[in-house]
Structure 1
Amino acid sequence: MITIYHNPRCSKSRESIAFMEQQGVAYKIIKYLDADLTETDVKKILQKLDYSPIELVRTKDSLWQDTFGDVTLSDEQVIQAMVDYPKLIERPIVVNGPKAVIARPTEKIYEIL
């Protein structure tokens, strides 16, 4: 089953859900802002995306800029920042088994179906 790490306030996240419904594919939603993701959860997502930690961060977000913009962080520190501040995680993340994509644009979901 497909898993969508979803933020209901994000239009791209809502578009990914609509896309899955149009495709008739079963999916489950994880509202990651409320899910209390752990360091292990973030590392698993990173592995499926084949991303470095910083690639999953919304670095243009004011929270990142204000809190970490002038600091050089290790990969572990970046992961911890995402655990502490899940708002920093890029979205939507769509996972299918061992693979995942950031569904921007939504059509990127085809890559893992």
Structure 2
Amino acid sequence: MERNSTAHTFEWDDSIDDSPEGMTNHASRLRLPSPKRKSVSPLKKYETANFARRRKVKRWTLLEEETLRIGVQKYGRGNWKLILNCYRDTFEERTEVDLKDKWRNMTRS
């Protein structure tokens, strides 16, 4: 591989080995490539990271509400994971937190 004659490289001697035998063997030293600079556009300098998209709001069906009531009667309030797993086909796109929040809203009114 040929050296690039236009490349600007800098070498530092950070070696902690100052013995004469370490100084004579410069050819066998490991040479690392110079770090590459990234050109960053000023417009993209403060670009925000990609955020996770919010789920679309899905309205609760009467079947889901009735199944939630049955699940709470059968397994008790607070066992949202168990209720969700037992009625997975009914609560297709719901989470435990969704069940908890819906139950809180159902019992509040």
TM-score range, shorter chain: under 0.3
**Higher Cα Rg: structure 1 or 2?**
2
Q: Which has the higher strand share?
A: 1
Q: Whose RCO is larger (CA < 8 A, sep 6+)?
A: 1
Q: Output the TM-score relative to the length of structure 1.
A: 0.21
Q: Output the TM-score relative to the length of structure 2.
A: 0.22
Q: Which has the higher helix share?
A: 1
